[in-house]
Amino acid sequence: MKKVLRIMLLVLMAAVAIVIWLQRHVTHVLPQPLDPAFIRLTPREVATLPLATRFDMPMGSEHGALTYNARPFRIQRHLGDDLNGIGGGNSDLGDAVYAAAAGRVVYAGSPGPGWGKMILIAHRLPDGDELGPVIQTMYAHLDSIRVEAGQNVQRGHQIGTVGTAEGAYLAHLHFEVRLGPYVNPGQGYANTPLNRFGPEQFIRTHRGAGVELLNPTHKKD
């Protein structure tokens, strides 16, 4: 009996030793979950962003023709604009989504439930702009992504297609304009605007071209 107890004690001590070893060694090499809330562009990355001298709408024409805003900024706590094709329903599923301005893709992926595929593009504003050096535009609920993180894009470059957030909604583009260098998919609703601006108003004041100018969206800044 004593021999059995000694064996059991040795087995227990060995198990405890293994657990302690695993805690000290294995957990340090296992990949930790990515928390984008703490990722931000460095000053060097901001300084090397493409200069955005003009912004246009990301669907339809430069003025957003053939689209409508189904849920504008701050309606029912909404932090962006929901842009739809004029046919309604899923008629715009697969329609082209364009970069609103020259910039660099800083995120391209699927951040979590309810978002579908998402793209974040960082843009450097001209010196003296009251909003600061960097703005990000966000494009969510995409059906497909046609760019990758780190890629520079020009205004009017097709970056993806309109989707349904993996079937969560009828097809539309959730479009946001954000201030600052933090690369964070974030949230789509809040009681305050956070760091978001009304996309339609922002584009009106930052279009960088006369209303009558309708050159093709793929024209470079």
Q: Between 67 and 18, where is the model more confident?
A: 67
Q: For residue 23, what are its two tokens?
A: 């805690």
184: Cα separation from own chain's centroid: 7
CA separation for the pair 16, 50 (Å, rounded): 56
Is the pLDDT at 25 greater than 70, yes or no? no
What average pLDDT score do residues 58-63 get? 76
pLDDT class of 148 with cuts at 50, 70, 90: very high
pLDDT tens across 149-197, in order?
A: 999 999 999 999 999 998 889 999 999 999 999 998 888 999 999 999 9
Q: What is the pLDDT of residue 128?
A: 82
Element (H, E) at 203: helix 199-205
- For residues 22-39, average pLDDT: 54
Question: Which pLDDT belongs to residue 201?
Answer: 93
Helix (H, G, I), strand (E, B) or coil at 123: strand
CA–CA gap between residue 149 and residue 65 (Å, rounded): 29
Count the neighbouring beta carbons within 10 Å of the beta carbon of residue 96: 16
Yes or no: say if 217 and 62 are a contact pair by the CB < 8 Å rule.
Answer: yes
- pLDDT tens profile 77-94: 989 999 998 887 898 999
DSSP letter string, 27-58? GGTSPPPP-GGG-B--HHHHHTSPB------S
> Is the distance from CB of 70 to CB of 83 less than 8 angstroms?
yes
- Calpha distance 214→221 (Å, rounded): 14
Give whichever of 24-28, 31-35, 159-163 has the largest mean pLDDT: 159-163
Confidence tier at 211 by pLDDT (50, 70, 90): low
Q: Are 115 and 133 in contact (CB under 8 A)?
A: no
Beta-bridge partners for 70:
none
- Residue 175: CB atoms within 10 A of its CB come to 24
d(CA 6, CA 43): 63
**Residues β-bridged to residue 197:** 177
Instruction: Report H helices in 32-144.
Output: 43-47
Structure tokens at 2: 């004593």
Torsional sign, CA 192, 194, 199, 203: positive
Write the pLDDT tens digit of every residue in 95-130.
999 999 999 999 999 998 889 999 999 999 998 888
| pLDDT mean over 136-153 | 97
In degrees and rounded to multiples of 5, residue 115 shows phi and psi of -95, -30
